[in-house]
């Protein structure tokens, strides 16, 4: 398998997993989204906003454009539904970008300068980081949800996506939505 195919598949997985999680959350009481628990982000909404905010940032790093102000520093004032929809839209935008890249372009260097780390790596490394970061925090959403009484979280494992999801049907559903 080529790097291009692997990264593109992981981009599709990220869209599917975020969409699956958001679709599930939208069937739950809105009060559960803002229940405060001990976690790095203390509610489902705050965690969703963080995932979206981080995907926005990395999308800009990859495209070499200035990122918007982070919700880490500027308070998010939208609704939980708006954040959920924005997360899915951002994931789709990153997937489209990844799919537009050639194998060679995936290896193009991208520079990063943040308060936490500075340096450059091939963009495929940053792309993998985006998806791994989102996976980590999707797990937190499920755990926070359990504390809020949500016991039926959907399966969003990468192997499940690879082995059990009809990817063509999912893509067609996205086009209709």
Question: Is 137 marked within a binding site?
Answer: yes
147 a known binding residue?
no
133 annotated ligand binder: yes
- Residues 123/110, Cβ–Cβ less than 8 Å: yes
Could you tell me the pTM of the whole model?
Answer: 0.93
* CB neighbour class for 33 (10 Å; exposed up to 12, middle 13-18, buried from 19): buried
Write the CATH number of the domain with boundaries 3-176.
Answer: 1.20.120.450
3-state secondary structure of 109: strand
For residue range 75-102, list pLDDT tens digits in order: 999 999 999 999 999 999 999 999 999 9
pLDDT at 15 > cutoff 70 = yes
pLDDT band for 47, please (50, 70, 90 cuts): very high
């Amino acid at each position: 398998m080529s790097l291009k195919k692997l990264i593109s598949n992981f981009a599709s997985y990220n869209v599917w997993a975020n969409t699956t999680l958001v679709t599930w959350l939208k069937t739950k009481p809105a009060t559960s989204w803002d229940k405060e628990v001990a976690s790095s982000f203390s509610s489902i909404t705050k965690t969703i906003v963080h995932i979206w905010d981080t995907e926005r940032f990395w999308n800009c790093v990859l495209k070499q454009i200035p990122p918007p102000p982070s919700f880490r520093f500027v308070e998010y004032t939208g609704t939980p539904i708006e954040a959920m929809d924005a997360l899915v839209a951002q994931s789709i935008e990153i997937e489209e970008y990844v799919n537009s890249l050639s194998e060679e372009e995936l290896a193009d260097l991208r520079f990063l300068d943040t308060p936490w780390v500075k340096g450059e790596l091939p963009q495929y490394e940053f792309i993998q980081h985006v998806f791994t970061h989102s996976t980590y925090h999707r797990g937190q959403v499920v755990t926070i949800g359990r504390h809020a009484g949500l016991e039926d979280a959907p399966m969003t494992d990468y192997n499940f996506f690879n082995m059990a999801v009809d990817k063509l049907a999912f893509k067609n559903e996205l086009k209709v939505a």
